[in-house]
């Protein structure tokens, strides 16, 4: 593994002990370097902008209006993986809606799964705890995303290809190279997919596409059983 392959992570959270634990756990893998540890402070956005991490690891999020505003701003600077005790549908949905790439519920992942989630987040690939997956699938089935079989016909062949790349966790740049088109064209296709599937981000799109009883041609979303607590 070369230096360019090392994922640069910024740990964000008010619990210093938790930040230290996350630092220790991630560093021993040899796949991650920690570029900083910061609390949820007024200058958070400035620090994220200055450090430019590959992944912002946000620990202990309890989404309120102010924190969600900051989370949205952080997601514009780096992919965000949220680690939270809150597995309520409202909390999961709000975090994903404002742009979080992944959402893990504390107690429902082990160290290897956390590392895998960090690496996936760096690639823009959604990684969700079982509780978060249930929230997405339930919400989509309830009417906002679950659509009749006939709606598949509204997706163009190119849009279907784009979704397949999203499922594989590929970035817009990687999709563009694979398909021989520009990143701007990829972004336009992704936005068209969101509009047609009535989803708001990659996580919702992937969850809908891979849900076991989805009207779309996925294979079923694979998640490991959650741990108690």
pLDDT tens readout for residues 65-106:
556 777 888 888 999 999 998 888 778 878 887 888 889 988
First to last CA, the chain: 35
The token pair at 220 is 């079923």
Which candidate, 163, 182, 81, places its Cα nearest to that of 122?
81
Go through the domains of the chain in sequence order and give each one's CATH number.
3-128 (3.40.50.2300), 137-210 (1.10.10.10)
Q: Residues 9-56: pLDDT tens digits?
A: 999 988 888 899 999 989 988 899 999 998 887 788 898 999 999 999
Residue 135 makes CB contacts below 8 A (sequence gap 6+) with: 87, 89, 92, 93
- Strands, E, within 63-115: which ranges? 80-84, 102-105
Judged against a pLDDT cut of 70, whether residue 227 lies above it is answered with: no
Residue 83 makes CB contacts below 8 A (sequence gap 6+) with: 22, 57, 58, 59, 60, 61, 104, 106, 114
């Amino acid at each position: 593994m070369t230096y360019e392959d090392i994922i640069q992570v910024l740990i964000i959270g008010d619990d210093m002990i938790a930040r230290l634990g996350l630092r220790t756990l991630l560093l021993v893998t040899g796949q991650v370097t920690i570029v900083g540890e910061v609390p949820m402070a007024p200058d958070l956005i400035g620090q994220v902008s200055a450090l430019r991490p590959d992944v912002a690891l946000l620990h202990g999020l309890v989404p309120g209006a102010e924190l969600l505003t900051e989370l949205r701003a952080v997601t514009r600077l780096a992919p965000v993986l949220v680690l939270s005790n809150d597995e309520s549908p409202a909390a999961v949905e709000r975090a994903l809606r404002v742009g979080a790439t992944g959402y893990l519920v504390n107690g429902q992942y082990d160290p290897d799964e956390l590392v895998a989630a960090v690496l996936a987040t760096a690639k823009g690939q959604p990684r969700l705890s079982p509780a978060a997956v249930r929230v997405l699938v339930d919400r989509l089935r309830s009417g906002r995303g679950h659509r009749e079989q006939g709606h598949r016909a509204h997706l163009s062949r190119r849009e279907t290809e784009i979704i397949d790349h999203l499922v594989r966790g590929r970035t817009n740049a990687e999709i563009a190279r694979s398909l021989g088109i520009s990143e701007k064209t990829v972004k336009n296709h992704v936005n068209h997919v969101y509009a047609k599937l009535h989803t708001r981000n990659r996580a919702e799109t992937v969850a809908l596409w891979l849900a076991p009883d989805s009207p779309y041609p996925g294979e079923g979303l694979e998640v490991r059983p959650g741990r108690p607590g």
